[in-house]
Amino acid sequence: MPTSTEPGRPDPETTTLARGPDGRPVSDRGDTVCVIGAGASGLTAVKNLAEHGFGVDCYERETGVGGAWNWRHDRSPVYASTHLISSRPFTQFPDFPMPDDWPDYPHHGQLLSYFERYADHFDLRRHIWFGTEVVRVEPVGDDRWDVTTRSTGGYGPERTSRYGAVVIANGHNWSPKLPRYEGLEQFRGEVMHASSYKDSAQLRGKRVLVVGAGNTGCDIAVEAAQQASRCWHSTRRGYWYAPKYVFGRPADQVNDLLLALRVPLRVRQWLYHRTLRLTVGDLTRFGLPKPDHRVYETHPIANSLLVYHVGHGAITPVPDVARFHPHSVELTDGRQLDPELVVFATGYLPRFEFLDGKLLGDDEGVGRPRLWLNALVPDHPTLAVTGLVQPDSGIFPLAHWQAVLFARLLRARVSRPERAAAFAARVRAGAGERYSGQVKDSTRHWFEVGHADYLRALERALRELESK
Ligand SMILES: Cc1cc2nc3c(=O)[nH]c(=O)nc-3n(C[C@H](O)[C@H](O)[C@H](O)COP(=O)(O)OP(=O)(O)OC[C@H]3O[C@@H](n4cnc5c(N)ncnc54)[C@H](O)[C@@H]3O)c2cc1C
């Protein structure tokens, strides 16, 4: 069993003083695990590690729990109208259901209250240092880690503490990915990334060009359809716009039924195409380009209103932007638009600025870690990432089971070292495996997983770790 230092605040009896490689003082927290971030993934990591007997110190740069779903946070990407895209039963943690009387697709305010209740119910706040950001994570001997923190915003001195393991749960929807376009700097109109979009009042009465057809881009185009004086929606290719409800049920629940029945991908794609034909109809009739791929080859877009507004002429679909001029935007088909506001809903990139990317297997320096099960780090068995998945369902149950796996792996390192060593070899051999069918090669799909395949792989890993 791990030597459990008292969870929560460093206790002088369990914290000893060590020295870092450069001679600076380091508080040695023994086998305590450090968790970075108190969003969905960090909270479930704290809970599951504590339940497995570990001391846990969690650092959160903001002043509350909930991460992206706490709209008060500086870097929260949610806007006033954000609701879940994945439905409630496929989003909630397996051991903490959302209330039965909540809608299928709760509002972001409900999500925040869900995380606050989760933190209270499992008494997690005593482990969390709010307003504290992690600025450096460095390996030290014996697979241990020196974690340097400071008050968010850089006030006050830095402190370094030494931990037995680290869980990175810093989220991957906060660092905007901005495309480069010729002439963008000279463009005189207003330009923003979707991360700065908070309220439809920002669109009111303006000629708006929304770039990007992810779920956020579609949501903003729908709001612009109702608030702006004009809305163009620019997409690089045609997409499949699935309604949020199919046969009267949330679309992900219907999809899950087919997955549970192990219906092969080709058959599911055929069924999906038929269903979309019968419900949404032929999208080219609305002037939308024909998708150049089959469903499930791009991240699902669930939006019942986009096609509706295109059909009412309130959204004009247009192709990709070719370049910007000071007073206009030129499209790849040569057309010129004159938007007053351009919203880039072009997604986010992961960022791990507090550690050397090579530690996560990012040899090319592109910001894409090379992990096993999107969570375990091949050369560092005491380092894990949670929540770095983009599933066709909610993220939280996947983050929960990732945390359980890591907690059991850490426990096995003490109680069954041979089993843990064999498992580490398995992690090294399998790094980079995918858990989705064929998807388009783009940064948007770096972390794409099919939730059913992914959960089965996690279950197999747990069984392998626990086997005799
Ligand atoms: C518009 C929108 C809609 C979405 N809809 C869904 C949906 O329907 N279903 C779904 O499952 N997911 C959805 N997501 C994805 C969403 O990111 C996840 O639901 C969830 O927020 C992931 O939780 P997380 O804890 O991994 O990351 P986050 O929620 O981003 O939390 C990370 C936390 O880490 C903290 N942090 C970061 N760096 C540091 C540091 N250096 N030191 C200390 N603390 C740090 C941050 O402050 C933050 O609190 C949506 C995302 C967006 C943008």
pLDDT digits (tens, 9 = 90+) for 46-62: 999 999 999 999 999 99
Give the pLDDT band of residue 8 (cuts 50, 70, 90).
very low
Q: Provide the pLDDT for residue 13.
A: 55
In whole angstroms, give the CA distance from residue 374 to residue 357.
15
Other beta carbons within 10 Å of 21: 10
How far is the centre of ligand 1, averaged over its atoms, from the C-alpha of 295 (Å)? 26
DSSP summary character for residue 51? H
Any residues with Cβ below 6 Å from ligand 1, and which? 36-42, 59-62, 67-69, 77-78, 82, 84-86, 91, 133-134, 169-171, 173-174, 216, 354, 387, 394-396
pLDDT band per the 50, 70, 90 thresholds, residue 312: very high
Q: Which residue has the tokens 């932007």?
A: 321
Atom number of ligand 1 nearest to Cα 86: 8
- Confidence (pLDDT) at 286: 85
pLDDT of 125:
98
Which atom from ligand 1 is nearest to the alpha carbon of 79? 1
Mean residue pLDDT of the chain comes to 92
CA distances from 249 to 145, 154, 254, 305, 360 (A): 47, 48, 7, 16, 40
Ligand 1 centroid to residue 76 C-alpha, Å: 8
Q: How confident is the model at residue 11 (pLDDT cuts 50, 70, 90)?
A: low
Per mean pLDDT, which range of 208-222, 242-256, 275-289 is the poorest?
275-289
Identify the H or E element spanning 77: none
- Range among 3-7, 244-248, 445-449 rated most confident: 244-248
Burial 83-100 (b: 16+ CB within 10 A, else e): bbbbbbbbbbbeebebee
In sequence order, the 6+-apart residues with CB closer than 8 A to the CB of 274 are none
Q: CA–CA separation, 119 vs 44, rounded Å?
A: 9
Q: 53-56: long-range contacts at Cβ-Cβ below 8 A with a sequence spacing of 24 or more? A: 53/1, 53/2, 53/4, 53/411, 54/2, 54/4, 54/7, 54/164, 54/407, 54/410, 55/4, 55/5, 55/6, 55/7, 55/8, 55/14, 55/29, 55/30, 55/31, 56/7, 56/32, 56/127
- Rounded to the nearest angstrom, the distance between the alpha carbon of 85 and the centre of ligand 1 is 14
Q: Tell me if 167 sits within 8 A of 403, measured CB to CB.
A: yes
117 CA → ligand 1 middle, Å: 17
In ligand 1, which atom is closest to the CA atom of 111? 19
Mean pLDDT of 450-465: 93
Give the pLDDT confidence score for residue 68 in this predicted structure. Answer: 97
Residue 342 has pLDDT above 80, yes or no: yes
Please tell me the residue having the least CA distance from ligand 1 atom 11: 394
Question: Does position 45 have pLDDT exceeding 60, yes or no?
Answer: yes
Is residue 3's pLDDT more than 50? no
| pLDDT for residue 182 is more than 90 | yes
For 142-180, write each residue's pLDDT tens digit. Answer: 899 999 999 998 888 999 999 999 999 999 999 999 999
Residue 5 has pLDDT above 60, yes or no: no
Containing H/E element for 18? strand 16-19
Centre of ligand 1 from the C-alpha of residue 41, in Å: 8
Confidence of residue 306 (pLDDT cuts 50, 70, 90): very high
> Tokens at residue 197, please?
């979009």
Query: Of 208, 199, 176, 192, which is closest to residue 79 (Cα–Cα)?
Result: 199
pLDDT (mean) for 437-453: 81
Over range 423-430, report the average pLDDT: 91
User: What pLDDT was estimated at residue 364?
Assistant: 77
- Identify which of 41, 132, 299, 448 to mutate to test ligand 1's pocket (most ligand atoms within 8 A of the CB): 41
**Per-residue tokens: 4:** 């459990």
How many helices and strands (H and E) does the chain possess?
Answer: 9, 24
Ligand 1 atom at shortest distance from the alpha carbon of 135: 41
Q: Provide the pLDDT for residue 10.
A: 55
Going from the C-alpha of 428 to that of each of 140, 380, 383, the distances in angstroms are 20, 10, 13
Atom of ligand 1 nearest to the CA of 75: 47
**Sign of dihedral through CA atoms 450, 250, 115, 49?**
negative
The pLDDT tens digits of the residues spanning 269-289 come to 899 889 888 888 888 888 888
Which residues is 316 bridged to in the sheet? 232
Flag whether pLDDT at 6 surpasses 50.
no
**What confidence tier does 362 reach under pLDDT thresholds 50, 70, 90?**
confident
pLDDT(4) > 50: no
Looking at residue 14, its pLDDT comes to: 57
Q: Could you tell me which of 50, 60, 47, 148 has the C-alpha nearest to residue 96?
A: 47
pLDDT at position 40, please?
98
Atom of ligand 1 nearest to the CA of 133: 42
Could you tell me the distance, in angstroms and rounded to a whole number, from the CA of residue 328 to the centre of ligand 1?
A: 35
The residue type found at 88 is: R
